[in-house]
Amino acid sequence: MQRGSRPPLFERALAASFAAALTALAMAPAEAADSTDISATQRAEKKDFTDSQIFDGFFKTAFGAEYHLAGRVDRIRKFDVPVRIFAEGETHPDRRAQLSRVVADIARRVRHLDIAMTDDSNEANVTVHLVRDKNLGKTISTFYGAERGKEIRDSLDPQCLSGFRKNDKFEIEQADVILTIDNGDFVFLDCAYEELLQSLGPINDTDQVPWTMFNDNVQKGYFDIYDQYLMNILYHPEIKPGMTVQQVKAVLPQVMSDVRSFVGQTNGLGQ
């Protein structure tokens, strides 16, 4: 999408996966071990959470924004229509295949979210831009202008980036995700899951919740159980765009019962 097509009256909330250069460089040569490392992390992940632990992460990520340009950030923001994802940019069949698997995995694990890839850019409301690492800074400047791009790079130091714009009902209308394709499998998968999920609404990163991938100090490379709870709460039909914290708290007991049942069944948790 061309930068000029973004209406200025919509907020553009931005989130980035922080990754120190050392971490990226250390991961890049180890592509052969990536799948093993992810599998081992999945087997060892914490699976048992109290309602209080889940609610804490939900409120810290679904409200607020790590970086935003305009508008209120004290309301629920989410898509209220089917989500269709179009990938454009560098030709890299492995990355496109991995992206498709990530999207299919999200679709399986978030009950009330209609999400899928599309080959039609006109149908898409999420565009994934695949770029080489050396072109990341230039791509950010192309989207947001040289001055704003520098501000984003200086404040977030992103390895990858996602953002969305919403309407005055707090419904997300369009999202963009920028992913680098040449930093190894783990970095790509970690970025793809985090940025795609954040582009769906939980745009705020937090260092106060140790279990969520929406924490700059946490890298996973898969859709963990804790974040499945958060996303299933967000996309439950009782959670509406524009809801306040108090409005969400009023319906959470009913919502959480449904969410626990679905996440437990999907992951074989015996709940």
pTM over 0.75: yes
User: Would 105 be classed as within a structural domain?
Assistant: yes
Higher pLDDT among residues 4 and 38, named by residue: 38
CATH number at residue 65: 3.40.390.10
User: Would 41 be classed as within a structural domain?
Assistant: no
How far is Cα 117 from Cα 16, in angstroms, rounded to an integer? 22
Phi, psi of 128 (to 5 degrees): -100, 120
How far is Cα 148 from Cα 18, in angstroms, rounded to an integer? 18
Is 84:125 a contact under the CB 8 Å cutoff? yes
Whole-angstrom CA distances from 3 to 125, 143, 144, 176, 250 are 15, 5, 7, 11, 40
User: Would 3 be classed as within a structural domain?
Assistant: no
User: Would 124 be classed as within a structural domain?
Assistant: yes
**Which two three-digit tokens encode residue 143?**
């989207």
How far is Cα 26 from Cα 34, in angstroms, rounded to an integer? 12
User: Would 4 be classed as within a structural domain?
Assistant: no
Q: pLDDT tens across 69-109, in order?
A: 445 568 999 999 999 999 999 877 799 999 999 999 999 99
pLDDT at residue 25 tops 70: no
Buried b (16+ CB within 10 A) or exposed e, 19-47: beeeebeebeeeeeebeeebeeeeeeeee
Higher pLDDT among residues 215 and 66, named by residue: 215
The H or E element spanning position 229 is helix 225-234
How far is Cα 10 from Cα 18, in angstroms, rounded to an integer? 25
Report the percent of the chain where pLDDT is more than 70: 82
Query: Which residue segment(s) compose the domain that 137 sits in?
Result: 9-29+56-267
Provide mean pLDDT across the span 120-140: 92
Instruction: Give 36's Cβ-side CA count (13 Å radius).
Output: 4
User: Would 91 be classed as within a structural domain?
Assistant: yes
Q: pLDDT tens across 209-263, in order?
A: 999 999 878 888 999 999 999 999 999 999 999 999 999 999 999 999 999 999 9
User: Would 171 be classed as within a structural domain?
Assistant: yes
pLDDT of residue 199: 94
Q: How many structural domains are present in the chain?
A: 1
User: Would 25 be classed as within a structural domain?
Assistant: yes
pLDDT of residue 252: 95
